[in-house]
Structure 1
Amino acid sequence: MSSPVPLAPRASRALPLYALAAAGGVVGYLPLLTLLLPIKVELLAGEARIGVLTATVLAGAAAASLANILFGWLSDRSVAAGGGRRIWVTAGLVGTGMAFAAIAAAVTPLAIVLSIAAFQIAINAVLAPLFAMMAEEVPDDRKGLAGGLLALGSPLAAAVSAVLLSLTALGEAMRLALVWLTLAGCVLPIVLTRPTRKPDPGASDALPPAPARRDLAAAWAGRLLMQVAGNVLSLYLLYYIESIAPGHGPIALAPHIGSLMTIAFIVPLPLAILLGRVSDLTGRRKPVLLGAALVAALGLAGMALAASWPAAAIAFGIYVAGSQVYLALHTGFAMQLLPDPRRRGRDLGLLNLTNTLPAILGPLLTWLLATPSDFAPLMIVLAVLTVSGGLITMLVRQRR
């Protein structure tokens, strides 16, 4: 890879806009998949909720996997043709609004499955070009800071969830409309700016060297294993809490879970930003990534042992602290490993499989290991996978 380009003043000013846009992307999917969709599925399917939600998520994950690679590649083609990636982000925003309307109108399991698949296609038309823009326009010596700022997304999304669920007078369609407006408001500022750096033309058609491919594969595998637990908890946290606090319905629990998520995601935010900047200055990211994975695994073990709502909440907070630091710093870490500047969108789409494949693996593990009243075996398995992900990340040789 070519040496990093010095950070221009305009790029420095735009860095918060990249972070805001990425946060908007999280707002686009987290409130829906974590709380609004599980509530809708439980009201529709009752005791069959785990099966129906699993089928919905599997269809959405398949659609997201293909869509992210497709729109990343299409944005690469646009750049090669002299255009840019921002047009695809705009198209994705429009498509996401249409998908939210379809979700609100869905009243059968099949309609929910199809509307969630459409949503995943649309939201990935936003996210794939957006992260390629970040990889392209943020220099390497600021990628740790940029990664730390990405941790802003989860607390913002959790806060949006909490606010939406506290407004009991709002119907489902209005809640989804507010999610879309927040998404658009966060993403449009960066879409309306000009690129701060031009793509590096010094790419070759030759395959990257074997060490580069191995390093990217190790980073890919480590994040994949880390993301399985995150996917399970983003989808089934409501059901897990119901197993710890029986006798409380989803409508009653949802506002409390929204508040828990907001607090849990805010706490690690300054730590992720600080450690991201420290990793920029020291050039050492792997020790932080391993430590974060071990903290996340400790939280999952605590969730397996928890027998009360307070204990479960504390353990969840520990898990979130570790996982958010890991995922935020890993994003910048992986961007530095991309072997071909001309194919950033495609390669990030392949890397994004670490976000979408867990949406297949996680629900399957949940279906096999969890029941509506017992999630402990599942949490133990997730803790083991999380430690394994941190250890595999250490196999990367190009970067410290």
Structure 2
Amino acid sequence: MMKMSRAKGRTAGLFGWRASRHDDRLLLLLAVANAGGVIAYVPLLTLLLPAHMAELAGDDRIAWLSAATLAGAIAASLANVAFGWASDARWSRRGWAATGLCLTMLSYALVHRAASPQALVVAIVAFQIALNMLLAALTAWTAEAVPDRRKGLLGGLLAAGQPVGALAGVIATAPILTTGWMRLMAVCVLMLIAILPVLAFGARPRIQATAVAEPARSPPAARRRDFLLLWAARLLVQIAGVTVFGFLLYYLATLPAPPSDAGVARLSAIASILAFPVALRLGVVSDRMGRRRPFLVTAAAVAGAGLAMMGWTVDFAAQAVGFVVFACSAAVFLALHAAYAMELLPSPARRGRDLGILNLANTLPSVAAPLLTLWLVPHYGFAMLIRLLALAVLLAGVCVLLVRRDGVPLSARRAPPRGP
């Protein structure tokens, strides 16, 4: 009878994995909450902030928007490391996340009430600090709660964040929302819908209590070396992604037969729509194989080929194919990289701190991409910039190849035994 009751407590699990209903529920709640974190910043930073800055700064809007973006990126980088470390040291991940959520909503009020460009820059810095209190705790909680055998699936689900954030931007700028305050409130509501369930129902991770056997720990120096290689690989791919997506419209405008703005928007939408299911499926396959590195190296090689197609052709159709290939491959790389990095963190007791350091590879490209573009494009043109980015992505694949440890051990790939 005991065996039968245990069997009933299991389901086939998401995408065929045998897992408990609790495991499935917690994984989905955390994935949705992380998408909520993306909702918190994508509509604001890409749509609402530029519009508000244009109202306040007029002809100086580009300079002030650049200042707000740079100051916000610096604040986000430092805050993510600091709050990740703090959530390791004291209090609970849930407590830090809940506090960050409340402060993020308050920071929206500061953004709305900003009456000068200077005040808006300060409000964005406050927003980034509050948001990264939320994101640092959520990311560390996710790394703790989801076992290694399912982190590929997790990475695929996290890839939904950007499309969901873009959809939130469409909702927040709907014609029915006629004022800036109404749009910010819409973002708040969407964020709360995504994040509150995990705060309310996401119990403290039980998976760690049933400790899945970890592989033999490498020496500290080897773990730090592998982590540094993974950090560099993510940085290189993110620089390529931020540069290509940020300057795609300007680059395609240099072609002999440039597309319309609407055509560029459709191309970006197609790439985003295709990237998520590809990343999700390959994440599941990597879980079943218990390997990440072959998928990451292949994704980097294919992404580099896509950029090479963009850098050595002038036909828009070839450019479009190259861009979609790059966007999908980069999404797969970043999704599986998240899973791989969570498995190879240098110290399990310092997940928040280490994930904050890893997050620098997401924020620094926002500073590096414009500087790289300003350095290269005026002298050598966009094509040379794209070719250099292709080499950077291929170098990211080499960094992954140099990581020594790969593979979730068989004991970790099996569902852990659960008590009555």
TM range (shorter): 0.7 to 0.9
Is 1:133 matched up with 2:145? no
Q: TM-score, normalising length from structure 2?
A: 0.79
Is 1:84 matched up with 2:95? no
Q: Which residue of 1 aligns with 2:286?
A: 279
Tell me if the contact between 1:149 and 1:273 (Cα under 8 Å) persists in the aligned partners. Answer: yes
CA 1:380–1:224 in structure 2 vs 1: closer, same or farther (change >3 Å)?
same
Tell me if the contact between 1:300 and 1:383 (Cα under 8 Å) persists in the aligned partners. Answer: yes
SS of aligned partner of 1:338: coil
Deviations 1:287-313 (A, max 9, x none): 211222233334444555676887765
Tell me if the contact between 1:34 and 1:235 (Cα under 8 Å) persists in the aligned partners. Answer: no
Match of 1:212 among 217, 223, 229: 223
Q: Which residue of 1 aligns with 2:299?
A: 292
Match of 2:31 among 12, 16, 19: 19
Deviations 1:81-132 (A, max 9, x none): xx42111111111222222233334454423322222221111111111111
Report the Cα distance in structure 1 between the residues aligned to 2:383 and 2:50, rounded to whole angstroms: 20
Identity %: 45
Q: Which residue of 1 aligns with 2:204?
A: 195
Is 1:356 matched up with 2:368? no
Q: Which residue of 1 aligns with 2:110?
A: 102
Report the Cα distance in structure 2 between the residues aligned to 1:155 and 1:287, rounded to whole angstroms: 26
Match of 1:379 among 386, 391, 394: 386
Tell me if the contact between 1:162 and 1:258 (Cα under 8 Å) persists in the aligned partners. Answer: no
Is 1:394 matched up with 2:373? no
Deviations 1:146-173 (A, max 9, x none): 1111111111112222344453753333
Match of 1:145 among 143, 153, 163: 153
CA 1:365–1:98 in structure 2 vs 1: closer, same or farther (change >3 Å)?
farther
The CA RMSD over aligned residues, in Å, is 3.4
Q: Which residue of 2 aligns with 1:322?
A: 329
CA 1:290–1:167 in structure 2 vs 1: closer, same or farther (change >3 Å)?
farther
Is 1:231 matched up with 2:242? yes
Report the Cα distance in structure 2 between the residues aligned to 1:92 and 1:363, rounded to whole angstroms: 29
Note the C-alpha offset of 1:274.
Answer: 1.3
Tell me if the contact between 1:303 and 1:312 (Cα under 8 Å) persists in the aligned partners. Answer: yes
CA 1:94–1:223 in structure 2 vs 1: closer, same or farther (change >3 Å)?
same
Q: Which moved more, 1:159-168 or 1:356-365?
A: 159-168
Deviations 1:357-378 (A, max 9, x none): 222212322333457xx74443
Q: TM-score, normalising length from structure 1?
A: 0.83
Q: Bigger radius of gyration, 1 or 2?
A: 2
Q: Which moved more, 1:53-62 or 1:331-340?
A: 53-62
CA 1:60–1:303 in structure 2 vs 1: closer, same or farther (change >3 Å)?
farther
Q: Which moved more, 1:41-50 or 1:212-221?
A: 41-50
For 1:266, the aligned partner's letter is: I
Match of 2:69 among 51, 57, 63: 57
Q: Which runs of 5+ in 1 are unaligned?
A: 1-5
Note the C-alpha offset of 1:38.
Answer: 4.2
Report the Cα distance in structure 2 between the residues aligned to 1:233 and 1:41, rounded to whole angstroms: 24
CA 1:187–1:313 in structure 2 vs 1: closer, same or farther (change >3 Å)?
farther
Q: Which moved more, 1:381-390 or 1:18-27?
A: 381-390
Q: Which residue of 2 aligns with 1:75?
A: 87
Note the C-alpha offset of 1:16.
Answer: 1.2
Count, aligned residues: 382
CA 1:186–1:241 in structure 2 vs 1: closer, same or farther (change >3 Å)?
farther
For 2:157, the aligned partner's letter is: L
